Structure 1
Amino acid sequence: MFKLPKRLLAGGLAVAATTGVLAALTGGSASADRHSAAPTVIGHRGASALRPEHTLGAYKVAIAQGADFIEPDVVATKDRALVARHDNWLADTTDVEDHPEFAARKKTKVIDGVTRTDWFTEDFTLAELRTLRTTERIPDLRPESAVFDGLEVIPTLEEVIKLARANDVGVYPETKHPTYFDGLGLSMEEPLVALLNKYGLNDSRDKVIVQSFETANLRDLSRKTKVRLVQLMSASGAPYDLEAAGDPRTYADLATPAGLKWIASYADGIGPATAMIFPVDATGKLGKPTSLVRDAHRNRLIVHAYTIRPENSQLPADFRQGNPQAANYPRATGDVYGWVTKLFEIGVDGLFCDDPSAAVAARTKFLTR
């Protein structure tokens, strides 16, 4: 008889009862369990294929499409407010360049070892940030979303939490660049936990999951809160906190059985890039699946993979419409249903999606076939 880890026992079977996990723990198959639990659909930055990312409008569309969770990436302001931005730089998702009063704020900084010249959230108070308006990050690929440029302000994490609670969906915040912000004296873990506690989100049964590409902040959070934690994993490179500490481990090392066992000591799941589950070749076609999903389930970890995007250029070549290489059809919507179904079939417990409606529809067909 298997034993669930303490973090799961604290919340009953809320975490484990997702597609594949219970089956993996009890020796069954993911497909045999799929009718007893629905995979989770996460609105990646909201419905970011349809509205400028990390706006209340994007989150509202994701909710209307049936997403189970909405995902705000979290960065800090000069006055320690937590706001929803994918990164702490601003030029690609706001109209900051159109504000002459902030021209002198443009700086060159090193973020996680990479030099960037831009405007940065930590140099603005929340009130100053709220004078900016949001814009589409990739307007050439998503011109329909760019129509909504200039209509919204940067939301605070608190506003996103309120929206999620008002609509009975989960919130899935990601702390961005935590080592960098720690170095500025703007640690995000304490205000994040305080905000979650304010809204009664402090248990593994609550509709909240906190994620990060770094490990130290998740290990810290595991001592500060009982909410579920997910270790994000890139298909290349290493967690920046490990690099900064001189630890040689990479994401590939963390994806091994030994690495997953270590992750299970402080987190409830992993969020791998889809390429860690289905590697792609030089032409973009899928190769043989890895054992990552199976190995994660054996370590009692849920698997929420990222990111499902609907455009041809963002899909594996196997699921593109028109030109197989997508060179002439970069914006055409490919076979998202086929791609999502393939991931569900291998036992993935949830997906981060730029257009949640596509995954919700695929899930409905998958569970009823």
Structure 2
Amino acid sequence: MRHLTILRGWGIHALQVAVLLTPVLAVAHTAETASRLPELKTPTHHSNPHLKAPEKYSLQLGPRPAYLVDDMDASPLKERLQSCNTGRKLKRTMFSIGHRGAPLQFPEHTKESYEAAALMGAGIMECDVTFTKDKELVCRHSQCDLHTTTNILAIPELAAKCSQPFTPADHIAGTPASARCCTSDITLEEFKMLEGKMDAYNPQATTVAEYMQGTPSWRTDLYATKGTLMTHAESISLFKQLGVKFTPELKSAEVPMPYEGTYSQADYAQQLINEYRNAGVKPKDVWPQSFDIADIRYWLANEPAYGRQAVYLDDANDPSELPSLQELQGYAAEGFNIVAPPMWALLELDANNNIVPSAYARNAKSAGLDIIAWSFERSGPLKNGGGWYYQTVNPVINNDGDMMEVLHVMAQDVGVIGVFSDWPASVSYYANCMGLP
């Protein structure tokens, strides 16, 4: 629909390990452009909006932010974002949260994915936390996703331990290929034998090798030749080295709890906090998350210093499932401070098809709750609409540049304090250009 030439100043260089990156891009905008934009609202939730990275991890951006800005409709916002190319260093920002690292192109929850996200300016990083057979905490998006996110099926002695072995597709009967491999099927020692891969599988597969393929065309296997899996404790150590903060998500157990009759949900929630305390991480640097309201209540009651920044994740699938104003007020009355819904929950269209804050967004702010949104850069190309993550504004989404318009509404009109992203460079660039924490 739109094609404008990229501003001449955009320089593109190669990053040794992973992505194309360019020395960045900071705050510089004309008074004329600024006058046509709404006043920037910088949240005061964090006392230190920018984090200084260790020198060996110089921050850089790749070509994607320039690509997205170039793809936007002509507007004052586009002019402002284009103007932020002064060659000054990018500041790491807690507004940009690495969702599983940088899984748009790197195997999620791997050392390589986390390092890439840190290079892109993410100031907070996520380890989704689950447990192994011997009750050790590890970083995985789901307790039972090893068959799609690792090479476990290619290691016969470990594949034999999977809850459900690989079953090939039966093209005559019309049944897809399947498998189910859980962290609770194997010990920590066995977990560390695995390598991460892009989260994908081929339902038409008749062999293990075919099943392990299936990466969408808009992602890549270019950086999936190795993926170093991590324990939760190892992720804490790495994030400290990278100079980023922590937002672990306690994943729902997919085995009956108490596990083996003794390991309760409370034990699991407490173990997560204990690993931060043992590593000397201050509560103000940790945003523990959960979709289970019982976990938030546990942390508030038993670990209030960490519980103050607990993030209650909303798992609504459509607007009818979102909490009411009264429910949101109830969360606040219990001591909840932060809610995190999917992006679509924060947006709606007005009578003129402009993207504006949703009733949920207004209600959450009215209840005194801070908001974190998920997950930017998760939908792939937006040529034909944004899909699930943009469901409330899909009619006006028709190319990739539109996601920057959505980000702007979430940041300036909704007032979110952070955004999870599968490619943090895009959010980091916006936050630096707009002076957000």
Say yes or no: TM over 0.5. Answer: yes
Rounded to whole Å, the distance in 2 between the matches of 1:300 and 1:208 is: 20
Selected match of 2:364 from 290, 296, 300: 296
Is the 1:233–1:251 Cα contact (8 Å) retained in structure 2?
A: no
**How large is the RMSD of aligned CA atoms in angstroms?**
2.9
2:136 counterpart of 1:61: no
- State the match for 2:247 in structure 1: 172
SS at match of 1:80: coil
98, 107, 129: which one aligns with 2:163: 107
Could you say what secondary structure the match of 2:347 adopts?
Answer: coil
Instruction: State how far apart, in whole Å, the 1-side matches of 2:249 and 2:372 are.
Output: 13
Contact 2:149 2:196 in 1 (8 A): yes
Q: CA deviation at 1:234?
A: 2.2
Aligned to 1:33: 41
1:338 aligned residue: 405
8 Å contact from structure 2 (residues 115, 242) kept in 1:
no
Shift of 1:178: 4.4
Shift of 1:104: 2.7
Alpha-carbon separation, structure 2, partners of 1:278 and 1:295: 12
State the partner residue of 2:66.
none
State how far apart, in whole Å, the 2-side matches of 1:338 and 1:123 are. 44
Distance 1:117 1:352, change over 3 A: same
Match of 1:354 among 413, 417, 422: 422
Q: How far is the alpha carbon of 1:47 from its aligned partner?
A: 1.1
Q: What is the CA–CA distance in structure 2 between the aligned matches of 1:289 and 1:35, rounded to whole Å?
A: 17
Equivalent in 278, 292, 299 of residue 214 of structure 1: 292
Gaps spanning 5+ residues in structure 2: where? 1-37, 50-93, 166-177, 201-214
Could you tell me which runs of 5 or more consecutive residues in structure 1 were left unpaired when the two chains were aligned. 1-29, 110-115, 239-249, 322-332
Report the alpha carbon displacement of residue 50 of structure 1 after superposing the two structures with TM: 2.4
1 CA distance for matches of 2:317 and 2:111? 31
**Please, which of 70, 76, 101 is the counterpart of residue 131 of structure 2?**
76
The 10-residue stretch of structure 1 (129-138 or 148-157) with the greater mean CA deviation from structure 2:
148-157
Whether the aligned pair in 2 keeps the contact of 1:218 and 1:266 (CA below 8 Å) is: no
- 5 Å-filtered alignment, 1:303-322, equals 303-309=371-377, 311-313=380-382, 315=386, 316=390, 317=394, 318-321=396-399
Please tell me whether the aligned partners of residues 312 and 334 of structure 1 are also in contact (alpha carbons under 8 angstroms): no
Distance 1:66 1:48, change over 3 A: same
How far is the alpha carbon of 1:366 from its aligned partner?
2.8
Instruction: Tell me which residue corresponds to 1:86.
Output: 141
Q: Which residue of 2 aligns with 1:24?
A: none
**For the structure 1 residues 148 and 179, does the alpha-carbon distance in structure 2 shift closer, same or farther, using more than 3 Å as the test?**
closer
Alpha-carbon contact 1:78-1:124 (below 8 Å) kept: yes
Shift of 1:166: 1.7
Contact 1:278/1:286, CA 8 A, preserved across alignment: no
Kindly state the Cα deviation for residue 345 of structure 1 after the two structures are TM-superposed: 2.0
What is the rounded CA distance, in whole Å, between the counterparts of 2:130 and 2:42 in structure 1?
36
- Within the candidate set 198, 206, 217, 2:278 is matched to 198
Partner of 2:192: 130
Q: Is 1:46 matched with 2:101? A: yes
Say if 1:133 and 1:150, in contact at 8 Å, map to a contact too: no
Q: Which amino acid in structure 1 is aligned with residue 346 of structure 2?
A: I
Q: For residue 19 of structure 2, what is the aligned residue in structure 1?
A: none
Deviates more, 1:228-237 or 1:62-71: 228-237
Identity fraction in percent: 24
- Residue 274 in 1 paired to residue 304 in 2? no
3-state SS, counterpart of residue 105 of structure 1:
coil
1:317-354 Cα offsets, whole Å, 9 max, x none, are 43442xxxxxxxxxxx5443222112112222211111
Write the deviation string for residues 202-230 of structure 1: whole angstroms up to 9, x where unpaired.
Answer: 53xx2110011111111111122212101
SS in 2 for 1:182: coil
| Mean Cα deviation higher: 54-63 or 302-311 | 302-311
Task: Give the match's secondary structure for 1:270.
Answer: strand
- 1:266-302: per-residue Cα shift (whole Å, max 9, x none)? 4220000112112589xxx986532323322233321
Distance 1:35 1:200, change over 3 A: closer
Which structure would you say has the larger Rg?
A: 2
1:133–1:149: 8 Å Cα contact kept in structure 2?
Answer: no
Residue 165 of structure 1: how far off its partner (Å) = 1.4
